Amino acid sequence: MAEVSVDGEEVVFEGEAPKDIGQVFELLMVAMSERGRALVSFAVDGTDIMSKTDGEELPTTFEKIEASTLTHSELTLQLVERVEEETESLDEELVAYSRKLLLLGWSEIFQRMDEFVNKIKPLADLLDNLDPFAKTYDPPWRSDFENLQKRQANALEEILSCFQIGDGAGLSDVVKEELHPVLTDFRKLSSLKMKPYLRKNMEQVVE
């Protein structure tokens, strides 16, 4: 008989248990979301299908499904800390880049555009990914966070405009005077308000 468990506890379905893996996944995802939790792994007969890449064939039958979850606060804290680690040297890199822009020719600046985008992408993605949490739970730091979102969006819009018109000096100013302060202020917000709030939520769940 097929088994389904979440965080080590057996799942008891009302009526007959679904045999379709996708249906099991959807049911668990909805049920966990209602409890403020998110699926982080979904192992079908020992293989976590959440780690599979697009295009990989998924199993159609199963004997055992083992899912694990985290609270939304735990997941958000992990995300914040991971991105902070990934962008640990970004402060210095942005300052250095803003100076370099004044020395390089435009053709070289344009050729390095992808390199620059890849450096700032983790932070931009993080702010996008934190948006649902802020809107759902309305944490005390929400207004500060949304202000950072707007400032980042404005900075990225100006950066794109500079690339489009070939304005190296303007790009240097935006990176130094607008984008870099967003990163600095995010680190302060994360350290002083976001992470303490998330850790407090996690402690309350444990209690």
Please give the chain's pLDDT, 207 residues, in tens.
Answer: 689 999 999 998 887 778 889 889 999 999 999 888 999 999 999 889 888 766 677 787 888 999 999 999 999 999 999 999 999 999 999 999 999 888 888 888 888 888 888 989 999 999 999 999 999 999 999 999 999 999 999 999 999 999 889 899 999 999 999 999 999 999 999 999 999 999 999 988 655
Task: Using DSSP bridges, classify how beta strands 9-10 and 3-6 pair: parallel, antiparallel or unpaired.
Answer: antiparallel
The residue among 25, 12, 7 whose CA lies nearest residue 68 is 7
Predicted structure pTM score: 0.82
The CA distance from 186 to 174, in Å, is 17
Q: Which helix (H) or strand (E) holds 3?
A: strand 3-6
Residue 141 and residue 201 in contact, taking contact as beta carbons nearer than 8 Å: no
Beta bridge partners of 65: 4, 44
Distances (CA, A) of 104 to 99, 107, 109, 123, 163: 9, 8, 6, 25, 14
3-state secondary structure of 4: strand
